[in-house]
Structure 1
Amino acid sequence: MSATARILPDGERLHLQHGPSDLVVWAEGARDQAYHAATKRFGTIIAELVDELPDLRTRLGTRSARPQGAVAKRMHDVCLPYVGQTQLTRMAAVAGAIADEVLGAMTSGAPLTRAYVNNGGDIALYLAPGTSFRTAISAYDGKQLGRIDISAEDGIGGIATSGRHGRSLSLGIADSVTVLARSAAKADVAATLVANAVDLPDHPAVTRRPAREVDEASDLGDLPVTVSCDTLSDEECDRALANGIETARTFQAQGGIAAAAAFLQGRCATLGAQILTFQQEPEHVQA
């Protein structure tokens, strides 16, 4: 199956799809040039990744060889600072790395003022000096939890969301975790790891199964992933969220991320909340 490209009914956004990658692309400026560059680059990405897929799906170690492909290298480089995290593979950054690569093709191929590439919720963002961007923080059921307001001066190039209701399996119990970073790939891997950390180990309300029983193709193997979480007390939710935000704080101190918001059963904890606001205020724990 080859990559497909079409303009969406709004006449402004481009839809790119190839295998599991499903991108919505938007640009302001020389749009036709940007979309041509995006389509051309996207058409080659999946084949490049498939060539190195077995290595990309193995656990990353300090001695793991750097891959050959441009997207695979990006995945490797952003995951490497987190070596030692449970069963981390470079696939933790694949969606964000693809979004970054397509956005890079657009910005190098056309003069733009603003642009984004949204790969299933992992967003690569370009803002020219003096411009800004607003997007919603949405729950897995589509309900808006709040919004993100970013200016070019904030230095944010990536927004990613992870959690047990997302496309990938999670070791944690977060309904969702949204992370802001300098690139989509950086945000992607950090969101995965922060979502894993929102957890209450061995809690009887949490049901887990080996990853390969849930998805035989999962790179998590026999690790227990969360398949359900019964109602928790407010104190239990806050404790789980605090575990995740503590991990996010470590990543922020290392320069890996700028901000994070974690959500669990109507409770919320944030880090770097100056660019995160809430339209319908959940019970909120400021971190």
Structure 2
Amino acid sequence: MKPHARLLPDGQRLHLQHGPSDLIVWADGARDHAYRAAMRRFETIIAEVVEELPDLRAMLSPFTNRPKGAVARRMHDACLPLMHVGNLTRMAAVAGSIADEVLAAMTKNADITRAYVNNGGDIALHLTPGTSFKTAIKAHDGSDLGRIEVTGADRIGGIATSGRHGRSLSLGIADSVTVLANSAAEADAAATLVANAVDVPGHPSVSRRAASGVDENSDLGGLPVVVGCGALSASECQQALAFGVRRATSLKTHGCLRTAALFLQGHAVTTGAHILPIQHEIQNVPT
């Protein structure tokens, strides 16, 4: 299958699709130039990643070599600082890295004031001074979880969401975790690790299976991923979220994320500004 590109019916957004990558692109400014640059760059992205896929699917270690491809290097650079935190392959940042790479081609080749590249919920963001971006956080059932609002002055370049209802398998029970970071690749990797940390170890209502038994192509191999989570008490939800907050706070201290919002069965915790949960029991954690 070849890469596919088309303008959406609104005439303002570009749809790029190839294999597992499904991008929605928008730009304000020299849009035509930006979209042509995005299409040119997207033509070879998947092939470049596939060329190094076996290495990218391996667990990171101190002996892992930096890959050759531009997207693969973005994946590597986003994940390497997180290697000590938990089980991680560079695939944790693949969606965000593709979004970052397409956005970089747009900003390099066109004069644009605002732009985003949304790769299935992992968003690369470009905001110049005086501009802003607003978006909603949606649950897996389509209900509203919260709102995000950032400005150019915030210098946030990436938004990503992970959790057990997402596209990838999760080691944790979070319904979703949304992270804001300096890039989409960094947000993607950090959201994965924070979502993995939300847990109630050994709880009988949580069922797990080896990742390879759920998806034979999973980069997580035999690690136990969550395949079901029954109703938890309020205190159990708070305990699980506290584990996630602890990890998010540590990652924020090390500059790996800017803000995180964690959601579990009607409970929400935030670790900073720019994300406002709605219709949840909310706990704000100062960091």
User: What TM-score, normalized by structure 1, do the two folds share?
Assistant: 0.98
What is the Cα deviation at residue 203 of structure 1?
0.8
Tell me the distance in 2 between the aligned counterparts of 1:49 and 1:134.
31
Instruction: Determine the C-alpha separation between the residues in 2 that align with 1:269 and 1:115.
Output: 28
User: What's the offset of the Cα at 1:39?
Assistant: 0.4
* 1:97-138 Cα shifts (integer Å, max 9, x gaps): 000000000011100010000000000000011111111111
Alignment of 1:95-106 (within 5 A): 95-106=95-106
Compute the displacement of 1:144 (Å).
1.2
Q: Residue type of the partner of 2:281?
A: E
Residue 224 of structure 2 corresponds to residue 224 of structure 1: yes
Runs of 4+ in 1 over 4 A off after TM superposition: none
Aligned residue for 2:13?
Answer: 13
For residues 37-71 of structure 1, give each alpha carbon's deviation from its aligned partner in whole angstroms, at most 9, with x where no partner exists.
00000111111111100000001111200000000
CA contact (8 A) 1:28 1:113 kept: yes
Give how far 1:259 is off. Answer: 0.1
Secondary structure, aligned partner of 1:263? strand
The one-letter amino acid of 1:276's match is: I
Q: What CA deviation, in whole Å up to 9, does each residue of 1:136-159 have, x standing for no partner?
A: 111111111110110111110000
Match of 1:243 in 2: 243
Q: Name the SS of the counterpart of 1:140 in structure 2.
A: coil
* Structure 1 residues 88-167: aligned runs within 5 Å: 88-167=88-167
Please give the residue correspondences for 1:45-84 in structure 2 after superposition, counting only pairs within 5 Å. Answer: 45-84=45-84
Deviation of the 1:79 alpha carbon: 0.4
Amino acid at match of 1:206: V
Partner of 2:263: 263
Equivalent residue letter for 1:12: Q
- CA deviation profile, 1:227-259 (whole Å, cap 9, x unmatched): 000000000001100100110000000011110
Which residue in 2 is equivalent to 1:283?
A: 281
8 Å Cα contact 1:210-1:221 kept in structure 2: yes
Unaligned residue ranges in structure 1 (runs of 5+): none
User: What is the alpha-carbon distance in structure 2 between the residues aligned to residue 162 and residue 44 of structure 1?
Assistant: 26
TM (normalized to structure 2)?
0.98
| SS of residue in 1 equivalent to 2:6 | strand
Aligned partner letter, 1:181:
A
Identity rate, percent: 65
Counterparts of 1:44 and 1:216 in 2: how far apart (Å)? 26
Give the aligned partner of residue 35 of structure 2. Answer: 35
- Give the SS at the match of 2:248: helix
**Are 1:184 and 2:188 counterparts?**
no
Whole-Å Cα distance in 2 between the matches of residues 208 and 85 of structure 1? 21
Supply the distance in 1 between the matched residues of 2:275 and 2:129 (Cα, whole angstroms).
21
Could you say what secondary structure the match of 1:281 adopts?
coil
Quick one: which amino acid aligns to residue 128 of structure 1? Answer: T
Q: Which moved more, 1:225-234 or 1:86-95?
A: 86-95
- SS of 1:68's partner is coil
How many residues end up aligned between the 2 structures? 285
Secondary structure of the equivalent of 1:84? coil
Whether the 8 Å CA contact 1:12–1:26 is kept in 2: the answer is: yes
Asked if the contact 1:238/1:285 (under 8 Å) is kept, the reply is no
Determine whether 1:215 maps to 2:185: no
Structure 2 unaligned segments of length 5 or more: list them.
Answer: none
